Chain A
Amino acid sequence: MTKTQSRRKARERVATVLIAVPLTVGALVCALPFVWMVANSVKTRSEAVSYPPQLLPSQWTFAAYTKLFTELDFLHYMLNTVALVGIGLVGLLLTAMAGYGFAKFPGRALGWGFFAVLMTMMIPAQVTMIPTYLVVNAAGLTNNLVGIALPTLVSAFGVFLFRQFMITIPDSLLEAARIDGASELRIFFAIALPVSRPILIVQGLLTVIASWNSFLWPLILSSSQRTYTLSVGLSLLNKQITTDPTVQMAGAALMTLPIIVLFFLAQRHIVAGFTMSGIK
Chain B
Amino acid sequence: MQSSPAPGGLAASDRRPLPRRPVARAASHRRPTSRWAGWGFALPALALVAVFGLMPILVAAGVSFTDLDIAGLAHPETIRLVGAANYVQLAGDPEFWAAFALTAGYVVVGVPLIAVLALAVATGLNRSDGRFFRLLRTLYFLPAVTALVAISVIWKYMFNGQFGLFNWLLDLVGLPAVNWLSDPASAQIAVGLVAVWRAIGLNSIILLAALQGVPGEQLEAAALDGAGPVRRYLYVVLPQIRFALGFVVMTTLIGWLQFFDEPFVLTDGGPVGATTSLSLFLFKRGFRLNEFGYASAGSIVLLVTIAAVTLIQLRLRKAHD
Of the residues A22, A123, A263, contact of B303 by C-beta under 8 Å = A123
Report if A126 contacts B (CB, 8 A): yes
Of the residues A27, A52, A131, A249, contact of B55 by C-beta under 8 Å = A131
Closest CB of chain A to B293's CB: distance in Å?
10
What residues on A are CB-neighbors of B156 within 8 Å?
Answer: 238, 241
Q: Quick one: CB contact mask for B18-61 with A, threshold 8 Å, 1 for yes?
A: 00000000000011011101111111111011111111110110
Report if B87 contacts A (CB, 8 A): no
Contact status A120-B54, CB under 8 Å: yes
What residues on A are CB-neighbors of B116 within 8 Å?
Answer: none
Q: Quick one: CB contact mask for B220-263 with A, threshold 8 Å, 1 for yes?
A: 00000000000000000000010110010000001001101000
How long is the Cα–Cα vector from A119 to B73 in the complex, in angstroms? 29
Total cross-chain contacts (CB, 8 A):
302
Q: Quick one: CB contact mask for B153-172 with A, threshold 8 Å, 1 for yes?
A: 11111101011110010010
Contact status B286-A213, CB under 8 Å: no
Check A238/B149 contact, CB under 8 A, given A116-B49, A127-B300, A131-B60: yes
What residues on B are CB-neighbors of A178 within 8 Å?
Answer: 9, 30-31, 34
How long is the Cα–Cα vector from A245 to B34 in the complex, in angstroms? 59
Closest CB of chain A to B116's CB: distance in Å?
13
Q: Name the residue of chain A whose CB is nearest to the CB of B248.
A: A279
Q: Name the residue of chain B whose CB is nearest to the CB of A135.
A: B51
Report if A82 contacts B (CB, 8 A): no
Report if A140 contacts B (CB, 8 A): no
B interface majority secondary structure: helix
Contact status A241-B258, CB under 8 Å: no
Report if A101 contacts B (CB, 8 A): yes
Contact status B158-A33, CB under 8 Å: yes
Contact status B33-A234, CB under 8 Å: no
Contact status B54-A107, CB under 8 Å: no
Contact status B149-A234, CB under 8 Å: yes
Interface positions, chain A 210-227, Cβ under 8 Å from B, are: 212-213, 215, 220
Report if B127 contacts A (CB, 8 A): yes
Closest CB of chain A to B58's CB: distance in Å?
8
Contact status B45-A95, CB under 8 Å: yes
We find that the number of chain B residues with CB closer than 8 angstroms to chain A is 103
How long is the Cα–Cα vector from A127 to B157 in the complex, in angstroms? 32
Check A252/B154 contact, CB under 8 A, given A30-B201, A131-B55: yes
Contact status B140-A53, CB under 8 Å: no
Q: Name the residue of chain B whose CB is nearest to the CB of A127.
A: B299
Identify which of A51, A238, A263, A280 gathers the most chain B CB atoms within 10 Å of its CB: A280
Check A260/B142 contact, CB under 8 A, given A23-B124, A95-B45, A134-B59: yes
Q: Quick one: CB contact mask for A69-106 with B, threshold 8 Å, 1 for yes?
A: 00000000000000000000000001101101110111
Interface positions, chain A 266-280, Cβ under 8 Å from B, are: 267-268, 270-271, 274-275, 279-280
Contact status A184-B33, CB under 8 Å: yes
Report if B213 contacts A (CB, 8 A): yes
Report if A68 contacts B (CB, 8 A): no
Chain A binder among B107-115, B131-139, B183-191:
B131-139
Report if B197 contacts A (CB, 8 A): yes
Closest CB of chain B to A252's CB: distance in Å?
4
Of the residues A119, A124, A213, A270, contact of B148 by C-beta under 8 Å = A213
Report if A6 contacts B (CB, 8 A): no
Closest CB of chain A to B223's CB: distance in Å?
11
How long is the Cα–Cα vector from A120 to B282 in the complex, in angstroms? 19
Contact status A117-B154, CB under 8 Å: no
Of the residues A26, A117, A235, A274, contact of B49 by C-beta under 8 Å = A117
Report if A148 contacts B (CB, 8 A): no
How long is the Cα–Cα vector from A159 to B42 in the complex, in angstroms? 10
Check A184/B40 contact, CB under 8 A, given A30-B140, A135-B55, A279-B247: yes
Check A126/B52 contact, CB under 8 A, given A16-B128, A51-B163: no
Check A105/B60 contact, CB under 8 A, given A98-B44, A130-B295: no
What residues on B are CB-neighbors of A144 within 8 Å?
Answer: none
Contact status B38-A105, CB under 8 Å: yes
B-binding residues in A (CB < 8 A):
15-16, 19-20, 22-24, 26-28, 30-31, 33-34, 36-37, 40, 48-53, 94-95, 97-98, 100-102, 104-107, 110, 113, 116-117, 119-120, 122-135, 137, 150-154, 156, 159, 175, 178-179, 184, 188, 209, 212-213, 215, 220, 230-232, 234-235, 237-238, 241, 245, 248-249, 251-253, 255-256, 259-260, 263-264, 267-268, 270-271, 274-275, 279-280
A-binding residues in B (CB < 8 A):
8-9, 11, 30-31, 33-35, 37-46, 48-57, 59-60, 63, 73, 121, 124-125, 127-128, 132-134, 136-143, 145-158, 160, 162-165, 168, 171, 197, 200-201, 205-206, 208-210, 212-213, 241, 243-244, 247, 254, 257-258, 260, 265, 279, 282-283, 286-287, 292, 295-296, 299-300, 302-303, 306-307, 310
Give 28 pairs: A residue, B residue, CB < 8 Å, sorted on A.
A30-B139, A40-B157, A49-B163, A50-B163, A52-B171, A97-B42, A97-B45, A98-B42, A105-B41, A106-B38, A110-B38, A119-B54, A126-B258, A126-B299, A127-B60, A150-B52, A213-B147, A231-B147, A237-B153, A255-B150, A256-B147, A259-B146, A259-B147, A260-B146, A267-B138, A271-B209, A279-B243, A280-B209
